[in-house]
Amino acid sequence: MTSSTRSAAKPALSLSVQYPDPRLRETITRAKLRRWLQAALLAPAELTIRFVDVEEGRTLNRDYRGKDYATNVLTFPYTETADEITRADIVLCTDVLEKEAAEQGKALEEHAAHLVVHGALHAQGYDHEDDEEAAEMEQLEIDILEELGFPNPYEPA
């Protein structure tokens, strides 16, 4: 999905942004989130992006995935068929996002953009459960982030 193969028309996006953990409200703004999501959408979508602290992130990951730790991004897709509009909640854990960006030597915005794109692709049915799916999803992420002006997230900083 390079810029030459993606449609110039942007799919409709209904976006709700929640900052129960307000630390990134001024840095990762609604306008940035909308831009990143629009680049990752293949069809119309209704999405909620929620920034949470480590406690809420851990609770969600434990309750819904059976993993008792906070993770960087969780996607909760609600669309059941390919004919429906994409509906999903994408939850980013501020603590994990900041820690990973620092550990990887990446700007916080760069890492956030990657996780938002990653979450949006999950919302649209992409996955990385096997090597083939992972390679396809990673290439999409690389292409979308390149369109947005970000470097390949899988290359060391």
pLDDT of residue 59: 98
Residue 60 three-state SS: helix
Q: Is 149 left (phi over 0), alpha (psi -120 to 50) or beta?
A: left
Assigned domain for 152 exists? no
Q: What is the pLDDT of residues 66-90, one digit of tens each?
A: 999 999 999 999 998 888 999 999 9
2 within domain boundaries:
no
End-to-end CA, the chain: 24
Distance CA 106, CA 154 (A): 11
* CATH number (domain holding residue 28): 3.40.390.30
- Tell me which DSSP letter residue 59 carries: H
Bridge-partner residues for 76, per DSSP? Answer: 89
Q: What is the pLDDT of residues 5-41, one digit of tens each?
A: 455 678 999 999 999 999 999 999 999 999 999 999 9
Domain that holds residue 62: 13-147
In a domain, residue 74? The reply is yes
Report pLDDT for 1.
42
Instruction: Please tell me the total count of domains within the chain.
Output: 1
Q: Tell whether 153 is covered by a domain.
A: no
- Domain assignment of residue 109, yes or no: yes
CA atoms within 13 Å, Cβ hemisphere of 100? 18
The rounded distance, in Å, linking the Cα atoms of 114 and 32 is 12
Q: Please provide the average confidence, as pLDDT, over all residues in the chain.
A: 93
| Domain-embedded: residue 126 | yes
In a domain, 41, yes or no: yes
> Does residue 111 contact residue 101 with C-beta atoms inside 8 Å?
yes
Residue 90 CB neighbour total at 10 angstroms: 22
